[in-house]
Structure 1
Amino acid sequence: MKRFIWMGAGIAIGVLAMRKFQTTKQALGPESLNRAVAGVADSIAEFAHALREGMTEREADLRAALGIDSADDVKTR
């Protein structure tokens, strides 16, 4: 009787270990890595877009404060 309990426990641990191995294998697969890289790339693109919007808004504020109408009015050295 005791052997059946230990055998059942061993089988259960083996099944759980195999399931964990399969999920880890899928998580590290090419499709999953592609999704992760795409997510990072999207986040970077969104950040860059927000940064450009902020720069444009700040530039408009500075132009209004300095009385400059367009970029053509700015003289470079």
Structure 2
Amino acid sequence: MATTLVYLIATEGPLGFLLALTQGGFACNGYGEGSPGGFGLTAVILAEVFFTALLVWVVLGTTHKIAVVGFAPLRLG
């Protein structure tokens, strides 16, 4: 599932994933014309939804009543 998501995000950019990496555009903010890699709004929305869901899943799992309390800082960090 994660590789499919990365593939969908990477193929959204017209320059391709490797070219965006070599131009230093992988970790820059923006989309469309503001994106160094030319990534569109679809890639931005996919990444935002996925990583927000991942964050919520980790927080809910960490704060669950059966979770081990001692590992909470490690998981949340």
TM-score range, shorter chain: 0.3 to 0.5
> Per chain length, whose mean CA-contact separation is higher, i.e. which structure has more relative contact order (CA < 8 Å, sep 6+)?
2
With normalisation by structure 2, the TM-score equals 0.37
With normalisation by structure 1, the TM-score equals 0.37
Is the radius of gyration larger for structure 1 or structure 2? 1
- The answer to which structure has the higher helix fraction is 1
